[in-house]
Chain A
Amino acid sequence: MRREGSALHGFGVVTLKEIADHFSSILVVVLVVLVTATAIVVVSLGLAPIKESTAEDPFLFLLLFTRSSPLTLPLLLSAFLVPLLAIGLGFDAVSGEHNRRTLSRILSQPIYRDALLFGKFAAGLFTLTVTFIVLWLLVIGLGLWGLGIPPNAEEMARALILLLITIVYGAFWFALALLFSIVFRSAAAAVLVSLGVWLFVTFLWPSFAPYIANAVSGSGDILGLLETQQVFARLSPVVLYNEIVAIVLDPSVRSTQQSMLAGLGLALIERGSIPGAPIPLLQSVLIVWPQIVGLVAGSILLFVIAYIVFQRQEVRA
């Protein structure tokens, strides 16, 4: 059955209104400031050790992201800052409209539901993107000022990929929060469940995955077991993000198994390669291409589920 008119009629109006809402919301402003400030502090703390120890490293600038202590910036982003900000933006996106009783009034204007949901998603994505770009520029600026050397082209490219992956990762968490804001009428329930999922995939799943892998894989082959463990661990978006970042930000890492093998006291040595020698950017990206695709697909899948649930939902409470 064909519907009259464009499904996206009113999309721009909704998006602009939602963006204005985000930036005038105290909650969002507090979260953005918190996220930015935390990131800056972490990177600043890492500046001094980098300056002292590794002036010889050809990718000195990238150490800014990977060697700050005690937590690295990507780890902090994946485990805390991005999920927190994205859930904060999305947890009452649709349930809020229900509870304020604005949903049926807005949907009685000449727009489709598609426009409302797409608009809310686009606005959330925009807010996340703006926040991450600001954060990224601040870190780069801090690096220029603190290290006193400019990044080379490849370092910039790798840092830019970090930015893009972080935006996709943010989209994943925002889509999750959006889904729960549709499924649950109560904002409190949506927040609790979102935070529950966050805690689970961030802290519990990486420790659970090996046990499940042990139970599933029957063979005594240790490498096979490790691979199964990795497959299970990768069901968590946090693991995917960290794997991507580890490869992209460190040109000397050649495989996602490298760290795993290093844990066993083994070194991954390919024929004709010098261990520890940097590999080109494209190679790094190719290594984690499946993870990147997985993260993008996960975000899209969550949004599609949210879309279907929203389309089928009754307007009335």
Chain B
Amino acid sequence: MNVIEANSLTKRYNGVAVVNGISFSVARGEIFGLLGPNGAGKTTTILMLLGLSDISDGQARVLDHDPVREPLAVKRHVGYLPDQVGFYDNLTAAENLRYTGRLMGFERSEREQRIKSSLGHVGLGEVANNRVGTFSRGMRQRLGLAEILLKEAQIAILDEPTSGLDPQATAELLNIIRDLKNRGVSVLLSSHLLERVQSVCDRVALFSQGNIVLIGTVPELGRQVLGGGFRVEVEAQGQGLGERIAAIPGVQRVEPAGANRFLLLADHDVRPEAASAVVAAGGRLLRLSVEEPSLEAIYTRYFQTHEGELHAA
């Protein structure tokens, strides 16, 4: 079942389409990534889904509610972590969450219990009574996730959750996001940092100038755009290995990469076939490695080939 459905969603400012008829859906328990450069329409899409921005055209359904007509029902079950989330610096972490809990209408005892457990869960239990003014960027982002846990949201919408974080804080945050998924929360996240997002997303949609240009799992997109995208490196000694390797089904191209080294471009992971081909030819297999298609490569390649069309459009 889909928790988010967007159908030809469009947003115009003064006649200019910032989001131009995009359609996508997010399944329950899925982590879905909206990827693209800044200004491609990701945040606008998110605001429309939350009912915080009017929809110019098309429809959105969030948990089977219309964000325009039933924004309260949507916002009650959707947690939102805005880009560079802000909290009241003069209040403590617990007080900030208490305000949210009151706005949600939780009873006192339930509220306090939820605040305690959600802060503990994101690793802020120790600093619950410290003023947020003293928090680092990473701690604020985690506090934002604690707020989503507090709401027991069914959908978490995270706008650029990892931007501006150091690698360790990023890793911690991605772990919490994976944990959200394990709790059955569907996650919609936007980012312009491709490789970090690749590791958590089940499916992604690539944005460009208000359009979704590609949508699917990362390997799918790899096949679509790179015509494969798996780069398998084989290092082996033996006679006539090049021809045998090239004959493996799924291998599109073999490039010699120095003495006894071959670089294979394939549409899937051909390591097992390559290994048996080397062994069958009586060769000595020294090394075998695979590089999965990276979003970075897909993205760059896509825009290299489509740049002309996009500008023409």
Complex contacts, B287 vs chain A, CB 8 Å:
none
A24 and B99 form a contact (CB under 8 A): no
In this assembly, does B76 line the interface, its C-beta being within 8 Å of a C-beta of chain A?
yes
Which residues of the other chain, B, contact A111 by a CB distance below 8 angstroms? 72, 75, 103
Of B79-87, B190-198, B210-218, the one contacting chain A is B79-87
Q: List 9 A-B contacts (CB under 8 A).
A: A9-B72, A21-B90, A100-B86, A100-B87, A104-B47, A109-B75, A110-B72, A110-B104, A110-B105
Q: Is the CB of A101 within 8 A of B84?
A: yes
Taking a contact as CB atoms under 8 Å apart, the answer to whether B82 and A110 are in contact is: no
Interface contact A4-B82, CB-CB below 8 Å: no
- Which 3 pairs of residues, A with B, have the shortest CB-CB distance? A101-B86, A108-B80, A109-B103
A17 at the interface (CB under 8 A from B): yes
A314 neighbours in B (Cβ, 8 Å): 53
Q: Within the complex, what minimum Cβ distance (angstroms) separates B142 from chain A?
A: 14
Question: Known interface pairs A3-B71, A112-B71, A316-B47. Does A104 touch B80 (Cβ–Cβ under 8 Å)?
Answer: yes
A-side contacts of B53, CB under 8 Å: 314-316
Residues of A within 8 A of B (CB): 1-5, 9-10, 13-14, 17, 21, 24, 100-102, 104-112, 314-316
* Complex: A21 Cα to B81 Cα, angstroms: 24
Question: SS class of chain A's interface: helix, strand, loop or mixed?
Answer: loop
Identify whether the interface residues of B are mostly helix, strand, loop, or mixed. mixed
Decide: B86 and A102 in contact? CB cutoff 8 A. yes
How many B residues are at the interface, by size bracket?
20 to 34
Contact with A along B67-95 (1 / 0, CB 8 A): 01111110110111110111111100000
How far is B103's CA from A112's CA once the two chains are assembled, in angstroms? Answer: 11
Q: Is B33 an interface residue (CB 8 A)?
A: no
Give chain A residues whose Cβ lies under 8 Å from the Cβ of B71: 3-4, 112
> Which residues of A lie under 8 Å from residue B85 when comparing CB positions?
101, 105
Contact B47 A109 (CB under 8 A): no
Q: How far is the CA of A191 from the CA of B99 in the complex (A)?
A: 28
Interface hits, B37-57 → A, CB 8 Å: 43-44, 47, 50, 52-53
B43 touches A316 (CB 8 A): yes
Are A112 and B99 neighbours in the complex by a CB distance under 8 Å? no
Q: Does the CB pair A13–B103 fall under 8 Å?
A: yes
Q: Residues of A contacting B87 with CB < 8 Å?
A: 100, 102, 105
A13 in complex: contacting residue of B43, B90, B102, CB < 8 Å: B102
A1 near B80 with CB under 8 A, answer no
In the complex, chain A residues whose CB is within 8 Å of the CB of B78: 108
Q: Which residue of B lies closest to A113 (CB)?
A: B52
When the two chains form their complex, are residues B104 and A105 in contact, meaning their CB atoms are under 8 A apart?
Answer: no
Binding site for A on B (CB under 8 A): 43-44, 47, 50, 52-53, 68-73, 75-76, 78-82, 84-90, 99-100, 102-105, 144, 147
Q: Is the CB of B43 within 8 A of A105?
A: no
With both chains docked as a complex, state the minimum distance between the C-beta of B95 and any C-beta of chain A, in angstroms: 9
For A101, the chain B residues whose CB sits under 8 A away are: 82, 84-86
Smallest CB–CB gap between A65 and chain B, Å? Answer: 37
Residue of B nearest to A3 (CB): B69
Q: Which residues of B contact A106 (CB under 8 A)?
A: 103
- B72–A13 contact, CB under 8 A? no
Q: Are B144's CB and A24's CB within 8 A? A: no
In the complex where A4-B70, A102-B87, A105-B86 touch, is A110 in contact with B75 (Cβ < 8 A)? yes
Q: Say yes or no: A110-B103 contact (C-beta < 8 A), given A3-B71, A104-B80, A315-B47.
A: yes
Given A101-B86, A104-B47, A106-B103: 7 more A-B contacts, CB < 8 Å: A2-B69, A102-B86, A105-B81, A109-B103, A110-B73, A111-B72, A316-B47
Give the CA-CA distance A314 to B78 in the complex, in Å: 20
B90 in contact with A24 (CB, 8 Å): yes
Chain B residue numbers with a CB within 8 Å of A315 are: 47, 52-53
Q: List chain B residues, Cβ under 8 A from A2.
A: 69
B48 → A minimal CB distance (Å): 11
B70 to chain A, nearest CB (A): 4
Most buried by B among A1, A5, A100, A108: A108
Nearest CB in chain A: distance from B124 CB, A: 16
Q: Which residue of B lies closest to A1 (CB)?
A: B69
Contacts of A13 in B (CB 8 A): 99, 102-103
Contact B99 A100 (CB under 8 A): no
Task: Report whether A108 and B75 are in contact in the complex, using a CB–CB cutoff of 8 Å.
Answer: yes
Q: A107-B52, A108-B52, A316-B43 are in contact. Are A102 and B70 (CB under 8 A)?
A: no
